[in-house]
Amino acid sequence: YGDVSQTRSFGYVDDTVDGLIRLMNQDQTIGPVNIGNPHEFTVKELAEMVVEITGSKSKIVYMPLPGDDPKQRRPDIRRAEKLLDWHPKVELREGLEKTIAYFKALDLRKFRKPTEHSAHRNTVDEGKVKKRLSYALVP
């Protein structure tokens, strides 16, 4: 969405589970502890990396930026590092490679096609959404 310069921080499930288990198994603190990855990537970098790793010929499509879309998302994990001796270990590329390999190994005939997502109703007419979704899971 937008010019795709907004940043996001992506965490791999193994890191998240490890952090949550450490949080549950301690009694030093009560309250919020950010379990996330402080390494930021632009949405464009993510999209380009996915296209590269999958070998897809997909083109990046730019859509209008929703008004409430944050420009930056980066968790402060200092409490997790201090209290839980935790930090993420899996870098974005490695996590994407593992995730893509997992989904490529699935027998997609066992799953239904995705349904239209309501967020797209504001920015794209239904015909384009349905066409795009029909290709969403093609490996």
Task: Name the burial class of residue 13, with classes exposed (0-12), middle (13-18) and buried (19+) by CB atoms within 10 angstroms of its CB.
Answer: exposed
Per-block average pLDDT, block size 10, for the chain (139 residues)? 82 95 91 91 91 92 81 88 95 95 88 67 50 45
Closest CA to 35 of 63, 12, 3, 66: 12
Task: Please state the pTM of the whole predicted model.
Answer: 0.70
Q: How high is the pLDDT of residue 19?
A: 95
pLDDT value at residue 120: 54
77 by Cβ neighbours in 10 Å (0-12 / 13-18 / 19+) ranks as buried
Neighbouring residues of 70: CB distance < 8 A, sequence distance ≥ 6: 6
CA neighbours within 13 Å on the CB side: how many for 115?
1
**Predicted local confidence at residue 117, as pLDDT:** 65
Burial label, 83 (beta-carbon count in 10 A; 0-12, 13-18, 19+): middle
